[in-house]
Amino acid sequence: MSIFDRFSLKGRVALVTGGGRGLGFEIARAFTEAGAHVVLTGRTAATLDSAVATIAKSGGSAEAATFDIADVTAGRAAIADIRQTCGRLDILVNNVGARDRRPLAAFGDDDILELIRTDLLSAISLSRDAAEIMKAQGHGRLIAVTSIVGEMARPGDAIYPAAKQGLTGLMRSMAVEYGAHGVTSNAIAPGMFATETNAALAENPDMLSFARQRVPLQRWGRPEEIAGAALFLASDAATFVNGHVLTVDGGMSVQM
Protein backbone atom coordinates (compact mmCIF):
# COMPACT_ATOMS: atom_id res chain seq x y z
CA MET A 1 0.00 0.00 0.00
CA SER A 2 1.41 3.38 -1.01
CA ILE A 3 1.33 6.37 1.32
CA PHE A 4 -1.37 7.89 -0.86
CA ASP A 5 -3.53 4.77 -0.53
CA ARG A 6 -3.39 5.14 3.23
CA PHE A 7 -5.38 8.36 2.99
CA SER A 8 -8.24 6.60 1.21
CA LEU A 9 -11.55 6.26 3.06
CA LYS A 10 -13.14 4.04 0.43
CA GLY A 11 -15.85 1.87 1.96
CA ARG A 12 -15.87 3.78 5.25
CA VAL A 13 -18.92 5.36 6.86
CA ALA A 14 -18.57 8.62 8.80
CA LEU A 15 -20.85 10.72 10.98
CA VAL A 16 -20.01 14.44 11.15
CA THR A 17 -22.04 16.55 13.56
CA GLY A 18 -22.71 20.10 12.45
CA GLY A 19 -21.80 19.01 8.94
CA GLY A 20 -24.08 21.39 7.06
CA ARG A 21 -21.69 24.32 7.01
CA GLY A 22 -18.39 25.72 8.24
CA LEU A 23 -15.65 23.41 9.46
CA GLY A 24 -18.01 20.44 9.67
CA PHE A 25 -18.96 20.73 6.02
CA GLU A 26 -15.34 21.01 4.89
CA ILE A 27 -14.45 17.93 6.92
CA ALA A 28 -17.40 16.02 5.48
CA ARG A 29 -16.56 17.08 1.94
CA ALA A 30 -12.95 15.94 2.35
CA PHE A 31 -14.11 12.57 3.64
CA THR A 32 -16.41 12.06 0.65
CA GLU A 33 -13.65 13.05 -1.76
CA ALA A 34 -11.52 10.35 -0.11
CA GLY A 35 -14.27 7.79 -0.77
CA ALA A 36 -16.35 7.70 2.43
CA HIS A 37 -20.10 7.83 2.78
CA VAL A 38 -20.88 10.64 5.22
CA VAL A 39 -23.93 11.32 7.37
CA LEU A 40 -24.26 15.03 8.14
CA THR A 41 -26.17 16.19 11.20
CA GLY A 42 -27.66 19.57 12.05
CA ARG A 43 -30.85 21.28 13.17
CA THR A 44 -31.80 22.89 9.84
CA ALA A 45 -32.98 20.55 7.12
CA ALA A 46 -32.51 23.11 4.32
CA THR A 47 -28.86 23.68 5.25
CA LEU A 48 -28.17 19.95 5.35
CA ASP A 49 -29.97 19.31 2.07
CA SER A 50 -27.90 22.01 0.40
CA ALA A 51 -24.68 20.49 1.76
CA VAL A 52 -25.66 17.00 0.59
CA ALA A 53 -26.51 18.38 -2.86
CA THR A 54 -23.16 20.17 -3.11
CA ILE A 55 -21.30 16.99 -2.22
CA ALA A 56 -23.38 14.95 -4.68
CA LYS A 57 -22.56 17.37 -7.53
CA SER A 58 -18.89 16.58 -6.93
CA GLY A 59 -19.57 12.84 -7.06
CA GLY A 60 -19.53 12.29 -3.29
CA SER A 61 -21.87 10.19 -1.18
CA ALA A 62 -23.69 11.86 1.71
CA GLU A 63 -27.01 11.96 3.51
CA ALA A 64 -28.61 14.17 6.14
CA ALA A 65 -29.82 13.41 9.67
CA THR A 66 -31.74 16.40 11.01
CA PHE A 67 -31.87 16.71 14.79
CA ASP A 68 -30.66 18.89 17.65
CA ILE A 69 -27.35 17.50 18.90
CA ALA A 70 -28.36 18.44 22.46
CA ASP A 71 -31.16 15.87 22.21
CA VAL A 72 -29.33 12.78 23.44
CA THR A 73 -32.24 10.50 22.57
CA ALA A 74 -32.23 11.72 18.97
CA GLY A 75 -28.48 11.23 18.79
CA ARG A 76 -28.74 7.64 19.96
CA ALA A 77 -31.47 7.01 17.40
CA ALA A 78 -29.24 8.42 14.64
CA ILE A 79 -26.39 6.09 15.58
CA ALA A 80 -28.78 3.13 15.63
CA ASP A 81 -30.14 4.11 12.22
CA ILE A 82 -26.65 4.28 10.72
CA ARG A 83 -25.87 0.85 12.12
CA GLN A 84 -29.04 -0.57 10.61
CA THR A 85 -28.88 1.07 7.19
CA CYS A 86 -25.12 1.18 6.59
CA GLY A 87 -24.08 -1.86 8.60
CA ARG A 88 -21.07 -0.06 10.05
CA LEU A 89 -19.69 3.20 11.43
CA ASP A 90 -15.99 3.88 11.02
CA ILE A 91 -15.56 7.56 11.86
CA LEU A 92 -17.27 9.93 14.26
CA VAL A 93 -16.45 13.64 14.20
CA ASN A 94 -17.88 15.57 17.13
CA ASN A 95 -17.75 19.00 15.54
CA VAL A 96 -20.72 20.92 16.97
CA GLY A 97 -19.80 23.71 19.34
CA ALA A 98 -22.21 26.36 20.55
CA ARG A 99 -20.70 29.52 22.04
CA ASP A 100 -22.06 32.04 24.49
CA ARG A 101 -19.57 34.81 25.17
CA ARG A 102 -20.38 36.14 28.65
CA PRO A 103 -18.57 36.53 31.98
CA LEU A 104 -19.16 33.69 34.42
CA ALA A 105 -21.26 35.90 36.73
CA ALA A 106 -23.73 36.48 33.88
CA PHE A 107 -24.53 32.78 33.52
CA GLY A 108 -27.44 31.18 35.31
CA ASP A 109 -27.31 27.47 36.09
CA ASP A 110 -29.68 26.63 33.22
CA ASP A 111 -27.52 28.59 30.77
CA ILE A 112 -24.44 26.66 31.88
CA LEU A 113 -26.20 23.32 31.56
CA GLU A 114 -27.50 24.18 28.09
CA LEU A 115 -24.03 24.97 26.79
CA ILE A 116 -22.43 21.93 28.44
CA ARG A 117 -25.22 19.72 27.09
CA THR A 118 -24.52 20.87 23.53
CA ASP A 119 -20.74 21.09 23.61
CA LEU A 120 -19.81 18.16 25.84
CA LEU A 121 -22.63 15.83 26.88
CA SER A 122 -23.73 15.24 23.29
CA ALA A 123 -20.19 14.20 22.35
CA ILE A 124 -19.94 11.84 25.32
CA SER A 125 -23.20 10.14 24.38
CA LEU A 126 -22.47 9.85 20.65
CA SER A 127 -18.92 8.64 21.26
CA ARG A 128 -20.08 5.97 23.69
CA ASP A 129 -22.58 4.54 21.23
CA ALA A 130 -20.32 4.86 18.20
CA ALA A 131 -17.43 3.20 20.04
CA GLU A 132 -19.52 0.09 20.69
CA ILE A 133 -20.02 -0.35 16.95
CA MET A 134 -16.34 0.32 16.27
CA LYS A 135 -15.20 -2.16 18.93
CA ALA A 136 -17.24 -4.89 17.29
CA GLN A 137 -15.59 -4.03 13.94
CA GLY A 138 -12.10 -3.89 15.44
CA HIS A 139 -11.57 -0.50 13.82
CA GLY A 140 -12.71 3.07 14.32
CA ARG A 141 -11.80 6.72 14.51
CA LEU A 142 -13.20 9.07 17.16
CA ILE A 143 -12.34 12.70 16.39
CA ALA A 144 -13.26 15.69 18.54
CA VAL A 145 -13.14 19.24 17.23
CA THR A 146 -12.10 21.19 20.32
CA SER A 147 -10.53 24.66 20.25
CA ILE A 148 -7.35 26.43 21.20
CA VAL A 149 -9.43 28.09 23.92
CA GLY A 150 -9.52 24.71 25.60
CA GLU A 151 -5.98 25.61 26.66
CA MET A 152 -6.21 29.41 26.52
CA ALA A 153 -8.80 31.89 27.76
CA ARG A 154 -9.99 35.44 27.27
CA PRO A 155 -12.20 37.61 29.48
CA GLY A 156 -15.94 37.30 28.94
CA ASP A 157 -15.91 33.76 27.58
CA ALA A 158 -16.21 31.53 30.63
CA ILE A 159 -18.07 28.30 29.85
CA TYR A 160 -16.99 27.47 26.29
CA PRO A 161 -13.33 26.86 27.29
CA ALA A 162 -14.48 24.62 30.14
CA ALA A 163 -16.58 22.52 27.76
CA LYS A 164 -13.77 22.26 25.21
CA GLN A 165 -11.26 21.25 27.87
CA GLY A 166 -13.76 18.59 28.96
CA LEU A 167 -13.93 17.37 25.36
CA THR A 168 -10.15 17.06 25.32
CA GLY A 169 -10.30 15.03 28.52
CA LEU A 170 -12.95 12.78 27.01
CA MET A 171 -10.79 12.22 23.94
CA ARG A 172 -7.82 11.17 26.06
CA SER A 173 -9.92 8.85 28.19
CA MET A 174 -11.32 7.17 25.08
CA ALA A 175 -7.83 6.83 23.60
CA VAL A 176 -6.90 4.72 26.62
CA GLU A 177 -10.19 2.84 26.90
CA TYR A 178 -10.67 1.88 23.26
CA GLY A 179 -7.14 1.70 21.87
CA ALA A 180 -6.85 -2.04 22.47
CA HIS A 181 -9.91 -2.54 20.26
CA GLY A 182 -8.39 -0.84 17.21
CA VAL A 183 -10.27 2.41 17.88
CA THR A 184 -8.21 5.60 18.04
CA SER A 185 -9.32 8.86 19.62
CA ASN A 186 -7.84 12.23 18.71
CA ALA A 187 -8.77 15.89 18.55
CA ILE A 188 -8.36 18.91 16.31
CA ALA A 189 -8.02 22.29 18.02
CA PRO A 190 -8.85 25.05 15.52
CA GLY A 191 -7.87 28.65 15.97
CA MET A 192 -9.46 31.64 14.22
CA PHE A 193 -11.40 30.41 11.18
CA ALA A 194 -13.53 32.59 8.92
CA THR A 195 -16.62 30.38 8.94
CA GLU A 196 -20.17 31.60 8.38
CA THR A 197 -20.60 31.95 12.14
CA ASN A 198 -17.51 34.17 12.38
CA ALA A 199 -18.07 36.08 9.13
CA ALA A 200 -18.81 39.43 10.81
CA LEU A 201 -15.82 39.10 13.13
CA ALA A 202 -13.51 38.08 10.30
CA GLU A 203 -14.47 41.19 8.33
CA ASN A 204 -14.15 43.54 11.29
CA PRO A 205 -11.07 45.79 10.79
CA ASP A 206 -10.14 45.49 14.47
CA MET A 207 -10.23 41.68 14.29
CA LEU A 208 -8.22 41.70 11.08
CA SER A 209 -5.61 43.77 12.89
CA PHE A 210 -5.79 41.37 15.85
CA ALA A 211 -5.16 38.41 13.54
CA ARG A 212 -2.16 40.10 11.98
CA GLN A 213 -0.70 40.72 15.44
CA ARG A 214 -1.51 37.41 17.12
CA VAL A 215 -1.32 34.83 14.31
CA PRO A 216 2.14 34.26 12.79
CA LEU A 217 0.51 33.67 9.40
CA GLN A 218 -1.17 37.07 9.92
CA ARG A 219 -4.66 36.06 8.82
CA TRP A 220 -7.77 34.09 9.67
CA GLY A 221 -7.91 30.46 8.60
CA ARG A 222 -10.02 29.44 5.63
CA PRO A 223 -12.58 26.71 6.47
CA GLU A 224 -11.15 24.30 3.91
CA GLU A 225 -7.80 24.44 5.71
CA ILE A 226 -9.20 22.16 8.44
CA ALA A 227 -9.81 19.31 6.00
CA GLY A 228 -6.27 17.91 5.80
CA ALA A 229 -5.97 17.49 9.55
CA ALA A 230 -9.32 15.68 9.76
CA LEU A 231 -8.59 13.41 6.81
CA PHE A 232 -5.22 12.45 8.29
CA LEU A 233 -6.68 11.49 11.67
CA ALA A 234 -9.54 9.56 10.03
CA SER A 235 -7.30 7.62 7.66
CA ASP A 236 -4.92 4.68 7.86
CA ALA A 237 -2.07 7.19 7.66
CA ALA A 238 -2.72 7.81 11.38
CA THR A 239 -2.99 4.23 12.65
CA PHE A 240 -0.49 4.89 15.48
CA VAL A 241 -1.77 8.35 16.42
CA ASN A 242 -3.90 8.09 19.55
CA GLY A 243 -4.71 10.58 22.30
CA HIS A 244 -3.31 13.54 20.37
CA VAL A 245 -4.56 17.12 19.95
CA LEU A 246 -3.64 18.43 16.51
CA THR A 247 -3.65 22.23 16.68
CA VAL A 248 -4.60 24.07 13.49
CA ASP A 249 -4.31 27.77 14.29
CA GLY A 250 -1.61 29.28 12.07
CA GLY A 251 0.75 29.31 15.06
CA MET A 252 -1.40 31.55 17.26
CA SER A 253 -1.07 29.41 20.38
CA VAL A 254 2.75 29.33 20.28
CA GLN A 255 3.43 33.03 19.73
CA MET A 256 4.20 35.11 22.81
49-63 per-position pLDDT tens digit: 999 999 999 999 999
Indicate the average pLDDT of the chain.
94
Kindly state whether residue 154 falls inside one of the protein's structural domains: yes
Cβ atoms of 38 and 8 within 8 Å: the answer is no
In angstroms, the Cα distances linking 45 to 65, 156, 241 are: 8, 32, 35
Confidence of residue 149 (pLDDT cuts 50, 70, 90): confident
pLDDT at residue 18, rounded to an integer: 95
Decide: residue 142, CB within 10 A, 0-12 exposed, 13-18 middle, 19+ buried. Answer: buried
pLDDT at residue 224, rounded to an integer: 96
pLDDT at residue 124, rounded to an integer: 97
pLDDT at residue 158, rounded to an integer: 85
Span 184-208, average pLDDT: 89
pLDDT at residue 142, rounded to an integer: 98
Confidence of residue 90 (pLDDT cuts 50, 70, 90): very high
Kindly state whether residue 57 falls inside one of the protein's structural domains: yes
Kindly state whether residue 117 falls inside one of the protein's structural domains: yes
Confidence of residue 230 (pLDDT cuts 50, 70, 90): very high
* Tally of structural domains, the chain: 1
Kindly state whether residue 200 falls inside one of the protein's structural domains: no
Percentage of residues in the chain having pLDDT higher than 90:
81
Kindly state whether residue 180 falls inside one of the protein's structural domains: yes
Structural domain harbouring 42: 3-194+222-247
Distance CA 12, CA 66 (A): 21
Q: What CATH number corresponds to the domain at position 133?
A: 3.40.50.720
pLDDT at residue 14, rounded to an integer: 98
pLDDT at residue 1, rounded to an integer: 77
Kindly state whether residue 210 falls inside one of the protein's structural domains: no
Kindly state whether residue 104 falls inside one of the protein's structural domains: yes
Furthest CA-CA distance within the chain: 56
- Strand 37-42, strand 140-145: pairing: unpaired
Kindly state whether residue 132 falls inside one of the protein's structural domains: yes
Span 212-228, average pLDDT: 94
Catalytic residue among 25, 31, 160, 193: 160
Residue 232, phi then psi, degrees to nearest 5: -60, -50
Distance CA 155, CA 176 (A): 33
For residue 178, indicate whether it is catalytic. Answer: no
Span 76-82, average pLDDT: 96
pLDDT at residue 101, rounded to an integer: 84
pLDDT in tens, 91-127: 999 999 888 888 888 899 999 999 999 999 999 999 9
Rounded (10°) angle between helices 159-178 and 122-137 = 20
Cβ atoms of 138 and 182 within 8 Å: the answer is yes
Decide: residue 156, CB within 10 A, 0-12 exposed, 13-18 middle, 19+ buried. Answer: exposed
